[in-house]
Amino acid sequence: MSAKITLTGYPTGPIEAFSDYFRFDMEEGGSAAPPKGLPGASALTFTVFVSKKAGKKLGFPDSPAHRLLIQGELTAELPMDQCPGELGVIAFKVDTLLPQETAETMDDDRPTTPAVATPAASVLEEWPDLSEYPSLPLSQVIIPEAFLLTPPNAKKTSALQIRIAQHGQLDEPIVVRATENKQYLLIDGYRRYLIAEQLGWVAIPVRIEEDTARRAESRDS
């Protein structure tokens, strides 16, 4: 199972722009008062990955004027050159925390409402509905040797993984073909299969393609 995390604050350095995503570091401090007898937790640096579309709506790569609220999943699958922080966070929801303005009043005896942080609207892009497709356990999908010998581009995979983690689903199903032993041979979608595996999913949406040879035999019979 993947670990969820929520971060609040400002980037501790510049926001870097890549072809499909933005990347920046955030720091979370440890507890100032740990339980008695336990050592205090030290601060951790997280490298946050935000999809290009979501980041642009927040004005990236310019530094945000308000604190950020990041909700995402921890990942340890990215190489160090892509994830300089101690832990990586693939953001699936990004908000800005705006200070709520209080109404001015002439009555000094009337208590004023303190400014509180309120999340701005979510900036997730639209995503297709895959509910019409069946799901298969990953364990039932057979990966052909040709796919294993030619792994997909790591940068493109990381960029797509960020978007998939944000939405909690694939953007399109993988394509499989049924075999005689109740398993399914992967025809297309190896990158998405790997991402589902890295995110800890146990099942994946599929489009089952009929074997053309069997279909021809059934027509002839």
The amino acid that residue 26 corresponds to is M
Q: In the predicted model, is pLDDT for residue 106 greater than 50?
A: no
Q: Which pLDDT score, from 0 to 100, does residue 102 have?
A: 34
Is the CB of residue 161 less than 8 Å from the CB of residue 90? yes
Residues 6+ positions from 203 with CB-CB distance below 8 Å: 135, 136, 137, 138
Could you tell me the pLDDT band of residue 33, with boundaries at 50, 70 and 90? low
Mean predicted lDDT score pLDDT of the chain: 78
Q: Which pLDDT score, from 0 to 100, does residue 173 have?
A: 94
187-210 per-position pLDDT tens digit:
999 999 999 988 888 999 999 998
Residues 6+ positions from 161 with CB-CB distance below 8 Å: 75, 77, 90, 195, 198, 199
Q: Which residue segments constitute the domains of the chain, with CATH numbers given?
A: 4-119 (2.40.50.140), 135-220 (3.90.1530.10)
User: Three-state SS for 137?
Assistant: strand
Q: Which pLDDT score, from 0 to 100, does residue 119 have?
A: 44
Could you tell me the pLDDT band of residue 185, with boundaries at 50, 70 and 90? very high
Q: Please state, in angstroms and rounded to a whole number, the distance separating the CA atoms of residues 148 and 141.
A: 13
Is the CB of residue 73 less than 8 Å from the CB of residue 2? yes
The two tokens of residue 221 are 């019979």
Could you tell me the pLDDT band of residue 98, with boundaries at 50, 70 and 90? low
Could you tell me the pLDDT band of residue 99, with boundaries at 50, 70 and 90? low
Q: Which pLDDT score, from 0 to 100, does residue 208 have?
A: 94
154-169 per-position pLDDT tens digit:
888 888 888 888 788 8
Q: Which residues pair with 99 in a beta bridge?
A: 117
Q: Which pLDDT score, from 0 to 100, does residue 31 have?
A: 52
Average pLDDT over residues 179-190: 92
Average pLDDT over residues 81-97: 84
Q: Which pLDDT score, from 0 to 100, does residue 190 have?
A: 95
Lowest mean pLDDT among 111-125, 145-159, 181-195, 205-219: 111-125
